[in-house]
Amino acid sequence: MSSSPKRVLVTGGAGFIGSHFIRLLMAEHPTTEVVNLDAMTYAASHENVAEVADDPRYSFVEGDIADAEVVAKAMQGVTHVANFAAESHVDRSIHGAVDFIRTDVLGTYVLCEAARKEGVERFLQVSTDEVYGSIDQGSFTEEHPLEPSSPYSASKAGGDLQALAYMHTFGLPVIITRGSNTYGPNQYPEKLIPLFVTNALDGQKLPVYGDGSQVRDWIHGRDHANGILYALLGGTPGEVYNIGGGNERTNMWITKQILEQTGASEELITYVEDRLGHDVRYSLDTSKAQRELGWKPEISFDQGLADTVAWYKERRDWWEPIKSGEYKEFYEKQYAGKV
């Protein structure tokens, strides 16, 4: 991999994948400074970055990436940007997409503009396989057209296009990664795996959308963060890299694994009304990242899932407080009358 970056602005660094990235970056590059700009919305937690909080190379700025003033200040002296900040939950975007458009599209624009003025060496836009839409057979390569189908994925696609336009128009050295479904410790329990693990541990119902036959390709948060780091340091500006785990599973397979590993009863499975516009299958061809970046995922799905279940079993102190307040409000709106 290329030499250590001097100063990296990580946005959304108190979130799930962003915090894995910060820990990895600071451990592997002992001279690199990190500025974590995070709006501390519902899915972020200071605990996710507690390990590095006292490191003199780390600084934290609370702020929104769509706020040009905050971003301009945070960008000072920055050589590399990794934009993790995003509204990311599909179901929330179906209830209303304004926050998604603000953060994922407007926020990306504001960051690109500040990065251009600062003359950064690299701008890494963290994106998602969902911008490609759904695929029945075969796998998405980076050449696949963008066909997002949810308000969330449409917002992410808007961010990708804005960043690429900044490369084309102003020469901002933009690199994009498109990641698959990510799981692991520290993930907010609204997403399938942490939601089902924590519900199973509490003897609560597991709300399976439709018939549970939809397929996702799963990657561990640490592997995903590592792929992003490889792309930031070794990727070619203007290029897109797919980062996936190569672990395609149906939602029902995941559900049964979780029940087995938590020792909960299959009676907890509850079939609920399907997600509107539910994408049937995602599948990523990651050969470009493997070939050109020399990256590959290292954590097997069996091991990663077992470790993740063990983490949620041990870390009730992390997730129990989350499953109150704002979380409850969303849960009731999303699952009311269904579970």
> Which contiguous run of DSSP H or E holds residue 261?
helix 251-262
Q: How many CB atoms lie within 10 A of CB 333?
A: 11
* DSSP three-state, residue 58: strand
Residue 89 and residue 53 in contact, taking contact as beta carbons nearer than 8 Å: no
CB 83 within 8 A of CB 126: yes
Stretch near ligand DAU under the rule CB under 6 A, chosen from 6-14, 15-23, 49-57, 125-133: 125-133
Binding mask 80-109 for ligand DAU (x = CB under 6 A): --------xxx-------------------
Place of tokens 């799981």: 183
Single out the segment in contact with ligand DAU by CB under 6 A; choices: 189-197, 219-227, 307-315, 320-328: 189-197
**Residue 129 lies near ligand DAU (rule: CB under 6 A):** yes
283 binds ligand DAU (CB under 6 A): no
Q: Which of 83, 181, 247, 290 binds ligand DAU (CB under 6 A)?
A: 181
Residues pairing with 218 in the sheet: 181
Q: Output 60 or 241, the one with its CB closest to ligand DAU.
A: 241
Total residue length of the chain = 339
The active-site residue out of 33, 64, 118, 130 is: 130
Residue 102 backbone dihedrals phi, psi, to 5 degrees: -65, -50
Give the Cα separation of 125 and 121 in Å (integer): 13
Answer for which of 100, 282, 301, 331 binds ligand DAU (CB under 6 A) is 282
Question: What's the Cα-to-Cα distance from 296 to each of 170, 220, 318, rounded to whole Å?
Answer: 32, 12, 30
Spatial distance between the Cα atoms of 126 and 10, rounded to a whole number of angstroms: 11
Q: With binding defined as CB under 6 A, does residue 195 bind ligand DAU?
A: yes
Nearer to ligand DAU, 75 or 193 (CB): 193
Catalytic residue, from 58, 132, 152, 166: name it.
152
- Catalytic-residue membership of 54: no
User: How far apart are the C-alpha atoms of 82 and 13, rounded to whole Å?
Assistant: 9
Minimal CB distance to ligand DAU: which residue? 128
Does the annotation count 130 as an active-site position?
yes
CB 294, min distance to ligand DAU, A: 23
Q: Does 309 bind ligand DAU (CB under 6 A)?
A: no
**What share of residues in the chain are helix, strand, coil (percent, to 5)?**
45, 20, 35
Q: Is 320 a catalytic residue?
A: no
CB of 90 to ligand DAU, least distance (A): 4
Enzyme catalytic residues: 129-130, 152
Q: Which residues bind ligand DAU (CB under 6 A)?
A: 88-90, 128-130, 180-181, 191-192, 195, 207-209, 214, 216, 251, 275, 282
